[in-house]
Amino acid sequence: MNTTVPATDISILIVDDDSIVRDALITMLKSLGYTTFEADSGLSAIEILKNQSCDLVLSDIVMPHMNGMQLLAHIRSEFPNTDVIMATGYNEQTNYVEAIEAGAIDFIKKPIEFAELEAKLNRALRERDMVRRLEQLSLRDSLTGLLNRRAFDQRFNKETERASRQNYPLFLAMLDIDNFKNYNDTLGHPAGDKVLQGLAEILLDSTRTNVDMSFRVGGDEFALLMPQTSLEQAKVIIQRIMDHFLALGYGSTGLSIGLTSCRLCGTRPAQEEEEALIKRADKAMYTAKAQGKNQIVCDI
């Protein structure tokens, strides 16, 4: 059984102040099919990571200005999706336990042997792939397949920050299924599950793939993030979702939807602003319910 992880699209940054070591490692890694980048110091590595996403960093420990352990701490803080393997000479004092406790995923002694490096990379990348798969599962709602509340909290923070930084519009819609409890209690949970799954399919079918983000954030409550969208476009998308849902004819159910613009003003801490924006969308949704249900209320 072949347990080697395919190197396709895996990028590795080599950090060492010795050009001979870097050249040797580049030759090894390229022969295994990896994409490589190189830096001669921890400071140079940080600049590369700011502009180039890397799956893994293979770093020497003893370097001038910023040593490998300092670089490791910075990567763990600023680039959490990048894993690190530390390398050190046999006569150097930093040991395996120290490196692992500091956040490295592995530790290798220099001079580095090809077979050992290949084995460590295969193991590290298998573990990385497994962790990423588990993370993705933890962000999905098992019934609908949509992103869940945990994912919403993460993405909302990132999307509002990005929209503010790049100066483009971002809209949030909160959706609640009207009369769902009565429908669920009357016809049973399997019928209720079909309603939830039906709305999830509509959300995915009515929005832009890899642009808009759909979430199930509660029992019968959903959310939709629409970046780089005008108000009129957002209204068209929301109306399309409502029309398609009603066309499925789930008894007396309907949708109450609150829509709001999500622009950070910068007048108070970002977390407070984000919480206020979500509350605005929620309030608009509950206003829709209070006004008779099955309608859209905008708070822009």
Taking the domains of the chain in order of start, what are their residue ranges? 11-138, 149-299
- Residue 267, pLDDT above cutoff 90: no
CATH value of 11-138 in 3.40.50.2300, 3.60.20.10, 3.20.20.70, 3.40.50.1950: 3.40.50.2300
What predicted TM-score, i.e. pTM, was given to this entire model? 0.65
DSSP assignment letter at 208: -
Contact between residue 15 and residue 68 where contact means Cβ atoms under 8 Å apart: yes
- Give 15's strand partners: 39, 59
Please give the pLDDT value at position 265.
78
Give the integer Cα–Cα distance in Å for 124 and 55: 11
Window from 24-33, 264-273, 289-298 with minimum mean pLDDT: 264-273
Give the integer Cα–Cα distance in Å for 296 and 258: 6
Buried b (16+ CB within 10 A) or exposed e, 12-35: bbbbbbeeebbebbbebbeebebb
Residue tagged 């007396």 (tokens): 252
Give the integer Cα–Cα distance in Å for 195 and 180: 9
- Residue 96, pLDDT above cutoff 90: no
Burial class (CB in 10 A: 0-12, 13-18, 19+), 97: exposed
Residue tagged 């959903």 (tokens): 222
Please, what is the angle between helix 189-206 and helix 180-187, to 10°?
A: 130
Q: CB-side exposure of 190: number of CA atoms within 13 Å? A: 0
- 220 catalytic? Reply is yes
CATH architecture classification, 149-299: 2-Layer Sandwich (3.30)
Contact between residue 154 and residue 221 where contact means Cβ atoms under 8 Å apart: no
The full length of the chain comes to 300
- Residue 230, pLDDT above cutoff 90: yes
Spatial strand order of the sheet with 170-178 comes to 213-216, 221-227, 170-178, 254-261, 296-299
3-6: long-range pairs with CB below 8 Å, 24+ = 3/122, 3/126, 4/122, 5/121, 5/122, 5/125, 5/126, 5/129, 6/33
Residue 258 sits at φ, ψ, to 5 deg, of -110, 135
Question: Of 176, 178, 220, 282, which residue is the catalytic one?
Answer: 220
- Residue 121, pLDDT above cutoff 90: yes
Tokens of 195: 């309603």
Distance spanning both ends of the chain, measured CA to CA? 58
Give the integer Cα–Cα distance in Å for 122 and 202: 41
pLDDT digits (tens, 9 = 90+) for 25-74: 999 999 999 999 999 999 999 999 999 989 999 999 989 889 999 999 99
Average pLDDT (102-119) is 92
Who has greater pLDDT, 23 or 268?
Answer: 23
Please give the pLDDT value at position 270.
82
3-state SS, one letter per residue, for 125-156: HHHHHHHHHHHHHHCECCCCCCECHHHHHHHH
Q: How confident is the model at residue 91 (pLDDT cuts 50, 70, 90)?
A: low
